[in-house]
Structure 1
């Protein structure tokens, strides 16, 4: 019998509004210490405590399964983890939980993944839209939602999808079932056996 991961109680980040980009960068330098993660979107600073074990377990599970799939399907990918993504002109800074360049020569990641154990905060999709991230996956409470960027320039908007366009062919039902399994080794083996059939 397979049981699933249970999310812990959600935390709410601290929000500070009406900051300039310059003020944000000054605060960022002051709070450059372990234990905090800062995001910024058009004047709003979000400060979150670093996530705990349940968050990290789900994040690493998603990474392990996705990287296995990308490797076995022949993607020439580069994991970029939680690298800082920012744009002064877009007034945005964000760190995904995981991110990937899905082909060589990319200037920024094609895919960002968010594992949500918090409530409230800045609009993450708007932040990724300004950063021009083609696809964003959100895992929250055992559910996976996928958004793909459509349009050009200021008309760009995310469309919610049932299948990934950035990672074509991935069986999201199987992927999600394996993400939510309690035992990591069992989850990876189950996923690997299924995609190698």
Structure 2
């Protein structure tokens, strides 16, 4: 086994890691939610995110949750649950993830098997643009329909089309939300208190929802 340290992003990359070792580490680190593991055919990346990560992660989660509350859309929030498939030898932990269109398919399930059950409809990635491993390719292999990725300056909405991700202007899983709107609210979050920011976003969602109903 070899290791590569990547100091700027607080990463360590291990090569030659078995699937059993990856699964064991995933279980052992469940009590350390600040750690992110990415596994791809024997390569394991362990990342400790930088400080702004937690703030943006929660803000993007709030936008999803406010939108689904105001549109009365049932969801299942599974946070940074580990998603993996042994047959693909791939796995990762999103920063946030949600079942939306397929919420009923996993409602009440304590264990979700991606070889049988659908993957989450939406995954959120914060500040993983410098990941040593190609996390977006792993999401595609797992079949996650949509990924939002934000690096602190740029937000991209990726939609899975014919097995590959394409960037698009608006969300498919939450059609009220556009890339430019999400980015604008993330930018304004830096100059507003969080309570006021959530109220402003909720009011905007209500206005958009009224326009189409």
TM over 0.5: yes
Per-residue Cα deviation, 1:147-184 (whole angstroms, up to 9, x for no partner): 11112xxxx11111121111112243232222222231
Give the conservation status (yes or no) of the 8 Å contact 1:83–1:96: yes
The answer to whether 1:112 aligns with 2:123 is yes
1:111 CA displacement: 0.5
Q: 1:177 & 1:10 partners in 2: Cα distance?
A: 27
The answer to whether 1:149 aligns with 2:147 is no
Determine helix, strand or coil for the equivalent of 2:20. Answer: helix
Cα pair distance change 1:172/1:187, threshold 3 Å: farther
Give the conservation status (yes or no) of the 8 Å contact 1:79–1:100: yes
- Aligned positions of 1:67-82 closer than 5 A: 67-82=65-80
Determine helix, strand or coil for the equivalent of 2:157. Answer: strand
Counterpart selection for 1:88 from 86, 89, 112 = 86
Q: Equivalent residue for 2:35?
A: 36
Q: 2:80 & 2:145 partners in 1: Cα distance?
A: 16
Q: Equivalent residue for 2:143?
A: 132
Counterpart selection for 1:158 from 146, 161, 165 = 165
1:26 CA displacement: 4.8
Count of residues paired in the alignment? 184
Q: Equivalent residue for 2:44?
A: 45
- Aligned positions of 1:51-70 closer than 5 A: 51-70=49-68
Determine helix, strand or coil for the equivalent of 2:105. Answer: coil
- Measured on the aligned residues, the alpha-carbon RMSD in Å equals 2.3
Higher helix share: 2
Task: For structure 2, list consecutive stretches of 5 or more residues without a partner in the other structure.
Answer: 1-6, 107-116, 208-213
Q: 2:200 & 2:30 partners in 1: Cα distance?
A: 40
